[in-house]
Chains A and B, each alone.
Chain A
Amino acid sequence: MPQITFNVNNNPVSIDAENDDELLYLLRDRLGITGPKYGCGVGVCGACTIFKDGELVRPCIVPMEEVEGASLTTIEGLAVDDILHPVQEAWINEDVAQCGFCQAGQILTAVKLLESNPNPNEDDIDEAMSDNICRCGTYHRIRKAIKHAAALIQQTT
C-alpha cells in the first residue's frame, strides 16, 4: 500500500494513502489533530487554515498526496514548549474569541501577515484577513490584537 510521509508540528508521520482524502480529514480523523476545523469544506471560510512549508493553506481543499515530504504546522504547533506566540498572547489580551471555532485559522493568518508585514495598517489588515470568516463578529478585536501582536513582536526583536 502506498505511504505518504510528512512532518506535522515537528513530528514525523507515515500513513497509508489508499484513498485520496483531503488533508483536513487526514489530520482530523486519522491523526487526531483537531485544531483545524471543518467550517465549509470548500476553502471559503478559513477555519481549517494551517502552514505548509511556511505558506498558508486550507487543508480541506489540499489533496493528501500534495503533502509528501512537506512540513506542516497547525495551531497546536504554534506555541513552542508552552510559550505562546505573540499573536496568541495578543489574542488572549484582547479577549478576541467568542465561540472560538474560527480562531485557529484567524491566528495563523495573522501570524503570516505579521511575518510579511511587521507593521500593517487598516487596509493591510482588511486585505489579509477578509478571507477568514468569523460568524461571531470578532473582527474588531482581531484588528486590535494584530496591532497588539505587532507591538509585542517589535519589542522582542
Chain B
Amino acid sequence: MRAGQGHSFLLRRLHSLSGIIPVGAFLFEHILISNATATGGPAAYARQVRFLGGLPFVTVLELFGIWLPILFHSLYGFYIWWRGESNVTDYPWTGNWMYSAQRWTGIIAFAYIVWHTWTMRFSGIDLHLFPGAAFGKVQAEVFHTGLFLFYVAGLIAASWHFAYGIWLFCAKWGIITGQKAQKRLLVLCLAFFFVMTGAGLASLTAFRSRPQQPTARIRSALKAVLTPPKT
C-alpha cells in the first residue's frame, strides 16, 4: 500500500458508484419500466419509446447518462478483473464464487450490451424517428432462437450483476455492516434479481407471443423520406 497516494481510491469508488447511478438506475428503468410496457402491446410500447426518444437533449442524456458511464464501468471493471487473481478452485466458498460470478456476469452483460446497443440504437430503423417500428424491430430479433437466448443470457447476467452489485456497494461503502444485516440485504437483493429477471422474461414473452409487427412498411416509408426526390 502506498499510504495516502494515487488516484485509485477515487476511480474505484466512482466505478462502484457508477454501477448504481446511473448504470443501475438505467437498467432498472429499462427492464422494469420501459420494457415492461411491451406486455401492454405494440401501441403501449411505441408510446414509451416515443416518450423516451422525445426527451429534451436526449442524445446528451444517452451519452452522459448511459453510454459513457457504462463504458467507464466496463473498462475499469476489466482492469479490476485483470489485476485480481481468482482462487475459487482452492477456496470454493460462496463469497469467493460470487466474486468470480460478478466478473463473468459483467463480461456477458458487456458483450450483450455492445451488441444490443449497436443493433437497436445504431443500425436498422431509427426508433427515435419511428417509435412505431420499435415493437417489430425487437420482434425481428427475439423470434430468432439464438438471439432470443442471447437476450435471456444478457438479462440474467445484467440482473445478477446489478442485484449483487447493490449488495457489494452497501457492504463496501459501509452502509450495511453487520453480519445479520448483510444477510438480510442479500435476501432482498436475491429477490430483486428474480423480480428483474421475471419482468424481463415477461417482456420477452410479450414480444414473442404476438405476430410479427410490420417494420418493412415503416422502413420503406423511411427510405422515401430520406431519398432525395429525383428532379
Are A and B genuine complex partners?
Answer: no
Interface residues of B (CB under 8 A from A): none
